[in-house]
Amino acid sequence: MEQKSFQTSKYGKLYLVPTPIGNLADITLRALSVLKEVDLIAAEDTRHSGILLQHFQIKKPLISLHEHNYAQRVPELIEKLKAGTTIAQISDAGMPSISDPGHELVLAAIKAGIDVISLPGPTAGMTALIASGLPAERFAFIGFLPKKSSEQQQLLSAWQNVDATLIFYESPYRIQKTLSAMQEQFSEQAQVVLARELTKKFESYFRGSLAQALDFVAENEPRGEFVILLHPVPQENTLSEASIKEAVQRRIDHGEKAIDAIKALAKASGLHRAQVYDIYHKEN
C-alpha cells in the first residue's frame, strides 16, 4: 500500500466510532462529540443505531452500510467524502470492522486519499480477555468461525500449537457445535472461558477445560452472545495417564465408540494413537 504522507487531505474525514457492546454508559465522551459534529452517520442498522442516537439526543442523518449494499453504498459515501462531507461510521455494537461491517469503506477511503480516524472504545474480545484469567500477553482474535465444517477444522488446526489465548465470537445457537469443532483440534484439557452478555445485566463467565465447557453448555441452555477464549496447552507430556483415561471415557459416555474416542483424543493431544490405546486399557 502506497504511503503518501501524514498530511491531512483536502477531503472530508471518515471517523470510525465504536459504540457500546451492551451498557450504554460505556460510550466515550469523544465518541459523543464526534457523532454530534459530523455531517452524516453510516450505520450497520439504522433502526438499531437510531435508538442509540435518540438516547443521547443526537440528531444526525443516518445512512445504512452493511454487507448487502457495499457495492452501491461505498462509492456513494466516497463521493460525499470527496465533496467535503464528514462521516462517522458505526456498527451495531463495538468497533467497526471487528466482526462487523466497515473494512470495505476504510479501504476505499484510504485509496482515495481520505483521512481515516479511528476512535478507541469498547470491544467484546478485549473486555472478555482481561477478565478471563487466561494469559493476556499473547493473544489472537479469530472472531466467528466459517460455516463449513471443513473450513472450521482447517482454520482451527492452524492454531493448534500456538502459545496464545485465542478469541472467538459465537451465537447461543451455535455455541455447542463450535465447542465440539474445537474438541477435534485441541486437547480436552485446553483451558476455556465462556464470556456471556458482556456489560449487560446478566453478564457471566464460565471457566474450565474444553471438556467441561462442552458439558456446561449441554446442561445449561445457552442464552446471549458469547465470547469464547481458549488457551491451547502444550501438546506433549502434559496429560497424566489418569486424565487421558478420563478424557477417553468422557467421549465414550457421550456416545462415541471406544476406538473413535481414542483416535480423537490422540489427534487432539498430539500423542500416538497406540499410546492412548495402551493407557486407556491399562489396568490400575
Please give the CATH superfamily to which domain 14-118 belongs.
Answer: Tetrapyrrole methylase, N-terminal domain (3.40.1010.10)
Burial class (CB in 10 A: 0-12, 13-18, 19+), 124: buried
DSSP characters over 11-33: S--EEE--B-SS-GGGS-HHHHH
Distance (Å, rounded) from C-alpha 213 to C-alpha 194?
8
Q: What is the pLDDT of residue 32?
A: 97
Q: Do 214 and 176 touch, CB atoms closer than 8 A?
A: yes
pLDDT tens track for 40-71: 999 998 999 999 999 999 999 999 998 888 88
CATH number belonging to the domain at 124-231, selected among 3.60.15.10, 3.40.50.300, 3.30.950.10, 3.40.605.10: 3.30.950.10
- Provide the CA 131 distance to its chain's centre, in angstroms: 15
Q: What is the pLDDT of residue 1?
A: 47
Distance (Å, rounded) from C-alpha 144 to C-alpha 131?
20
| Average confidence (pLDDT) over 182-189 | 86
Q: Do 209 and 190 touch, CB atoms closer than 8 A?
A: yes
3-class secondary structure, 245: helix
pLDDT tens track for 258-283: 998 888 777 666 677 888 888 888 87
Residue 7 pLDDT more than 70? no
Cα torsion 69, 72, 75, 79 to 10°: value is -110
**All residues at 6 or more sequence positions from 118 whose CB lies less than 8 Å from its CB, including other chains:** 15, 16
pLDDT tens track for 117-158: 999 999 999 999 999 999 998 999 999 999 999 999 999 989
DSSP characters over 151-187: HHHHHHHHTTT--SEEEEEE-TTTHHHHHHHHHTTS-
